[in-house]
Every structure is written in structure tokens, then in C-alpha cells.
Structure 1
Amino acid sequence: MKIGFRVIKTAVGTGLAILMAKWLGLEFYTSAGVLTILCIRETRQRSIESAVEKFISCIIGSLFAAAAFKLFGFHPWVITILLLLIIPLLVTLKAGNSVSTSAVVILHLFMLGKVDGLTLLNELGIIVVGISFALLMNIIMPSSEKRLKEYQELVEANFKKIFNEYAIYLRYGESDWDGKEILETQKLIQEAKEEAIRDVENNLLYTENDYLRYFEMREKQFEIIQRIMPLVSSLDETYEQNLIIADYLERLAQGIHPGNTVSLYLDELREIRQNFKKSPLPVERKEFEVRAALFHFVNEMQRYLLIKRELFVQATKRQKRSWKSVFMGTEEGK
């Protein structure tokens, strides 16, 4: 059995919320702990969204219940009418997941059998205490930096392995590779993107981060890697051009890292294309098909490299905008 950090936060926050609500002398003080449990989510952003949703639903429940019980008295059928009105309203307000918390408030007032300023203040106190401790607990969030770095290293290692295996096949026309890195990489990129999104949601000052952009870039590159796999497998005969591409892929594999070395490999790719054009024409059909496949392969690799270059172009633009805003702000300050 494994106890995660979120479980610990939920347990501690729930106990503190109940303790505070009891100390304040609130009736149904245990409900504050229930609210804390419901509002603690995976990220700060989701926790805030849940807290706002629960707060709105509780206020709506309190107001509707106060009006209905005042007008019609404390009867079970009044609760039925209230839920028939409140549930569609909360769904319309996109707070349908908080129907249960609104119902709890309604049932509290029903059990007390009275609606006055003190009872409504009691419910408000429960809501505020429960939500406050949930938000307080979610201030503490573990850093995703280490995990994201691990994902980055694993994805890059798999990219290197795949390119090296492609090179082996192009060089020898056969390989005993089982292709497991293809499936692994697809899963790793998806998990890494989810982790990066959680990191964004835990940092409320920005809507995306460098890791999210990085893994989105790798995802696009991986689509090309998958696309060229059947192309490589069709090149089962060795020609001079195969060996040139194999050498290139081995060098490219060694250069896979977060840094920007795209221009170097693009230049080399252009040279390979020019050399292919200068090569003697194929003398047999099979060689012609191989040459055509290799040209297609070179074009795909160019797209692969341009995807990464675009990442650095966009990063440079963001940096320039950032510096521009700083200088403009300084001028305005003067």
C-alpha cells in the first residue's frame, strides 16, 4: 500500500478543517472536513476551480432553501422541489459536480428546522473553513522539474535508439530489433505532456511552460519517426546512398539533446540531397525505387529538423517580446 502526497494533504487538511469548525462552535462542523476532501485536487488550478464551484453551489443552495422553507415550511416534498430547481441551474452554471455539496446545505437547514441569520452564518462558516483549508493544503505542491527531466532523458534515449536501429537496417538490410522503443516513446510522451500540464496548472502565473512546448515538439517529431519506419523497412538492399543515410542517422542520434544544433544537420542534409542529385542514374528498377524512397526519407528528415528549429524561433520571439515589455515599462516608469 502506497500513501501519496495528495492523500497526506487531504488527511491533514480534513482534520484541521474539522478542528477549526468545531473550535468556532459551528453546527455540523464535520461537513467542513467533507468540503476540504472534495476541494483538494491534483493541481492548484483545479483546486481553485473546484473551490469556486463548491462555494457557488453552496450559496445557491442556502438562498433557495432559505426562501423555500420560509414560504412552504420544512417538509420533505420541499426538498424535492428544491433539487428539481437547483440541479438544472447548477448544470447550466457548469457546477453540476457540486450538487451534493448544495444538497448538504439544504439538509442542514432542514434538520435544524429554522432559517435565520445565525443558521445561514453557520453554513457560510462551514463553507469558508472547508474551502480555505483545501486551498491552504494545495499551496504545497511537489516540484515536477525532476520528473519532467527524467521524461526528457528517456524520450531522447529512445529517439537515439530508434535512429541507430534505422541506421543498422539501412547499412546491413536486416536487424533483430523488436521495435519496443516505438511503443515506449508514444507512452512516455503522453505521460510527459500530462505531467507538464499539471506543472502549468500548479503555476498560476503562466499558461504553458518550456517542457510542455518541448514534449509537443517531440510528439510532432515522433509522428515523422513512425511515418518513416515502413519506408526504412522497405530498403532491404544495400546501396551507396543507404550507407550515406545510415552514417547521417548515426550522427543525428548522437546529437539528440535539448540544445539547438538544427542548422548543422540541415546543412548536412542539403549536401546529401545535392550529392544524390549528382549521382549516376539508377540502372535497374530496384535501385530506382530505393533512390526514390531515400529522397522521400530525406524530405521527412528535413521536416523532422524544421519542427525543432521552429521551437527555438518561437522561444527567441518570446524572449524579445519579454525584453521589449521590460524596456517599455522602464520608459513609462520614467
Structure 2
Amino acid sequence: MPRWRIGYRTIKTAIGAALAIFIAELLELEFFVSAGIIAVLCISVTKKESLRASWERFVACLIGLGYASILFEVIGYHPVSIAVIFLLFIPTAVAVGVKKGIVTSVVIMLHLYMYETVSVSIWVNEVLLIVIGVGVALIMNMYMPSAEKPLILKQVKLEECFEKIWREYSRYLRDGDTSWDGREIAVASSFIEEGKSLALKNVDNHFLRHDDYFYHYFKMREKQLDIIERILPFISTLDRTVVQGEKIAVYMDELSQAVTPGNTAGYYLMRLDELRDEMKEMKLPSSRTEFEVRSSLFYILHELEEYLLIKKMFKPDPKRTRTISGKRLNRDSHKRNTN
């Protein structure tokens, strides 16, 4: 059963609807409650979405008023007229790109049906209802809670999963330990999807800057996780009797200690080249089994290189890197104090 709670959007919707109705009633507008309905419909999850929705509803309402004013006067004020208006208005709204305003416009057009006449004062009344509803919604949407902290938290948790995965790969290669259930791979995938979704909302909450750092970060980790998953079946073909496996295990231990938002890929690519050169100098395989093992090893090295190149192309944000590093230090300090 979903947990019952009152979120910030619910609070904004309640306040916005009440404020819009209060202003419309204060101005003695007809159908003043419609201002509250418009305000509720225009409150969205992001600032940019709210602006787009408000603009669409405003334009759609003006188009709807135009259709209703002409057709009601020409055909008359009866249900058939409403059907004709909808048949013309809805395709027009979709063609113009303001389909989100269809429902709001229907409310406004039906006001004319109830008036059974069209006049300048009625138009002024309806336009004021639209302006009040849209305006109050825009004001309410100026406040959006910062997604920075939740995004940083997901980033830290995701990197903990990556650290765990590399450590478990290393343990298998070194000790043949098969107790790991691979849970961190599924958890990491979940963090990535949640992080991308939240990052996109964060981008849409900034009008003057395109802050897409977190989205690119989670996309980068998504590509790396694909590589981690591809490596898994090849890791399982190796055993601890292979000396090269021990070397790769040591390297993966080093990788597990370097999963950070900062870019340390250059150093580990250099270490990877050294490891590849070292393996090339070893004796050629003398059996089919040894050949298959050696092939798996070189495939793993190739995938590790791809993993690091993806990170190398990512441009970290120095400010956020310092913030996240600070959180890591605090977390590690807390662990030491509680152990």
C-alpha cells in the first residue's frame, strides 16, 4: 500500500488553486472557480514544463474562445454547436501544438454556452480567468526543490556498487570465491535509471543554464555498467591457477579504489598497457584450454580499456567532484568510527 504523504507539489497545487480563486473572486469575475482549475492544470513537475504547459493552455484558450464566439453566434447555443466546435477546435489545437490546453479551453468555451451571448466584457472576463490561473501557477512553480543532494547521494551509492563489483571480480579471480550473488549489478542499474530521470528534471528546472552534468555522468556509468556485465561470463571461465588471472585481480582491486567522479582514467590506461605488454611477453599457450583462457584474458583487457576510455571522455565538474569527495571522506570517517 502506497505511503500517504503530502509532497511539495501537492502543497503548491492547494495554495495555487486557492490563491487563483481568491484573486478572481476579489475582481468579481464570473465563474471565478475556473481560475483555480486552470492553476491546478498548469502546475507541473519542472519549471520549463510549467512554462510550456502554461503557454499552450493560454494559446489554446484564445483559439477556443475564437471558435466558440463565431460558431455559437452562427449555429446557435445548443448541443449540436458544441459538437461542431469540438470537431474543429481539437484538430486545430493538435495541429498548432497546444493539445495540453484542450481540457482548459473546453471549460472556457462552455462558459460562453452558459452565457448564451458573446460580448467584449465576457471576453475580458474569460481572458482574466486564464491570466490569473496561468500567472498564479507560474509563480507557484518558481519554487522547485533542488535535486542536487538526491543526485549526489545516488552518485555516491552508485560508485559504492561499482567498487563492490570490482572487488568481487577480483576475489573470484584470486580465491575462486563464488559466494557473490551479483546483486550490486542490478542495484547499480536501478540507480542509473533513477539518476537519469532525476537529472533530466533538474535540467528542466533551470532557465538560464543548461546544467546537464549529472545526466552525462549517469549515461557514462550506464555504458560502463554494460561493459562490466559483458566481462562477467569471461571472468567465470578463469580460475585461480592462472597467473595472469592473479595479475588482473590485482588490477581490479586498484580499479575498485578509484571509482570516483574525478577523471583518473589516464593513469589506469597506462597501467593497463603495462599489464598487456607483460602478458604478451609470456610463453605462448601449449594447450587448447590454455589458449582459451589466454583469449578470455585479452578480451577482458580489451573491455577494461573500453571502460576506462569511456571515463576518460567524461568531463567532470571540479566543484561537484570536491563536494562528492567530501561526502566520501565523511562517510569513510563514520565507518572507521563505528567499526
TM-score of the pair, normalised by structure 2: 0.90
**Residue 105 of structure 1 pairs with residue 102 of structure 2:** no
Of 101, 114, 127, the match for 2:117: 114
Per the alignment, residue 10 of structure 1 pairs with 13
Cα displacement string for residues 126-173 of structure 1 (whole angstroms, at most 9, x for unaligned residues): 000000011000000100110000010011000000011111111123
The residue identity in structure 2 corresponding to 1:267 is M
2:87 aligned residue: 84
Partner of 1:305: 308
Selected match of 1:152 from 151, 155, 161? 155
Compute the displacement of 1:101 (Å). Answer: 1.2
SS in 2 for 1:25: coil
Partner of 1:266: 269
2:130 corresponds to: 127
Q: How does 1:30-179 map to 2 (within 5 A)?
A: 30-179=33-182
Amino acid at match of 2:297: L
- Deviation string, structure 1 residues 173-221 (Cα, Å, up to 9, x no partner): 3320011111111111010011110000000223442111111111111
The root-mean-square deviation of aligned C-alpha atoms, in Å, is 1.4
- Distance, in Å, in 1 between the alignment partners of 2:241 and 2:23 is 76
Provide the C-alpha distance between the structure 1 equivalents of 2:199 and 2:23, rounded to a whole number of angstroms: 35
Between the two proteins, the alignment pairs up a number of residues equal to 315
Give the corresponding residue for 1:250. Answer: 253
- Residue type at the aligned position of 1:270: D
Which of 290, 294, 298 aligns to 1:295? It is 298
Percent identity reads 43
- 3-state secondary structure, aligned to 1:202: coil
Deviates more, 1:115-124 or 1:233-242: 233-242
In structure 2, stretches of 5+ residues that fail to align are 319-339
Secondary structure class of the residue paired with 1:175: coil
Measured after TM superposition, the shift of residue 281 of structure 1 is 1.5
Shift of 1:70: 2.1
Give a deviation string over 1:290-317, Cα, whole Å, max 9, x none.
11101010010001001111113x989x
Consecutive unaligned residues of structure 1, counting only runs of 5 or more, are 317-334
Q: TM-score, normalised by structure 1?
A: 0.92
Deviation at 1:95, TM superposition (A): 2.3
How far off its partner does 1:62 sit? 0.5
1:56 and 1:122 map into 2 onto residues whose CA distance is: 16
Q: Distance in 1 between matches of 2:158 and 2:89?
A: 49
Answer whether contact 1:197 1:208 (CA < 8 A) is retained. no
d(CA) in 1 for partners of 2:65 and 2:80?
17
The worse-fitting range, judged by mean Cα deviation, of 264-273 and 233-242 is 233-242
Which amino acid in 2 is paired with 1:11?
A: A
Counterpart position of 2:333: none
Whether the 8 Å CA contact 2:240–2:246 is kept in 1: the answer is no
SS at match of 1:74: coil
Q: Which residue of 1 aligns with 2:230?
A: 227
Q: Show the counterpart of 2:334.
A: none
Q: What is the match of residue 324 of structure 2? A: none
Q: How does 1:209-220 map to 2 (within 5 A)?
A: 209-220=212-223
